[in-house]
Structure 1
Amino acid sequence: MRSMITGILLVYSSCVYAHEPKSGWQYDAFCCNGNQHTGDCQMIPSQSVRIIKDGYLLTLGPGEHRLVTRRHIFNVPQVTTRRSEDSEYHLCLYPNEDTLRCFYAPDMSF
């Protein structure tokens, strides 16, 4: 039992440590799946994000996120948006490119 718990903690801690933006802050553990090369979280271009009433409209095409293979439009409410710690936009897609799991944005200013 002890070795199983230790194994789970090692997997969890390595995921949190390995899956972080280049600037060094960490994505929330809920959002973390994979690592910087194979993970579902990464920075997206600011041109893909439009601030709308009560949130954001994301329009992504292939190449704007490692998992995106076709055009996607996501409407993200402000209340579900997480705070980016590097003033960039970040998107986590999991378990596939059709499912937005976490969206990070810098503080809004109108």
Structure 2
Amino acid sequence: MAGVIVAAAALKDVSAFAHSADSWTYPPACCHGDPVTGECGKIPSITVTPRPYGYEIILRPGDHRKVTHQNRYFVPYDVVIRSGDDNFHICLHPTEEHENCFFAPANAM
């Protein structure tokens, strides 16, 4: 019984460090457990363009809460993570110039 309590406490601690989209939770490795700075967030689909080898993403201020100037990212298809909803999401860490995780809806993969 003590092992179950310890395991439940550990799971609770992990979820406390991850933050959520509207209906699902970003993996802790993507958001680094920082819900205050909002490293992960939904982005407009118009900012995402499929290219032959991956997605090109151009974000401007207002597209993601961490973006303060225009940034361009390229994400190869083999590292894209399926999003838990029908939206694109991106995690920017350690700065807005660095894409840490990118999520695409199932119908875009």
Q: TM-score range by the shorter chain?
A: 0.7 to 0.9
The yes-or-no answer on 1:69 pairing with 2:71 is: no
Please state if 1:30 is matched with 2:29: yes
Gaps of 5+ in 1: 1-8
The AA in structure 1 aligned to 2:34 is G
Amino acid at match of 1:71: Q
With over 3 angstroms needed to count, the CA separation of the structure-2 counterparts of 1:14 and 1:78, relative to structure 1, is same
Change beyond 3 A, Cα 1:54–1:108: farther
In structure 2, the residue matched to 1:48 is 47
Letter of the structure 1 residue corresponding to residue 20 of structure 2: E
1:94 aligned to 2:93? Answer: yes
The one-character-per-residue Cα deviations of 1:32-87 (angstroms, maximum 9, x if unpaired) are 2322x532000000010011112100011011111111111111100011001201
TM-score (norm 2): 0.81
Alpha-carbon distance in 2 for matches of 1:61, 1:92: 15
Corresponding position: 1:107 with 2:106: yes
Letter matched to residue 12 of structure 1? V
Shift of 1:26: 1.1
Q: Where does residue 3 of structure 2 map in the other structure?
A: none
Gaps of 5+ in 2: 1-9
Q: Distance in 1 between matches of 2:100 and 2:83?
A: 15
**Divergent runs of 4+, >2 A:** 9-13, 107-110
**1: distance between equivalents of 2:54 and 2:38?**
25
Equivalent residues of 2:37, 2:66 under 8 A apart = no
Identity of aligned residues (%): 37
Distance 1:72 1:25 in 2: 26
> Where does residue 20 of structure 1 map in the other structure?
20
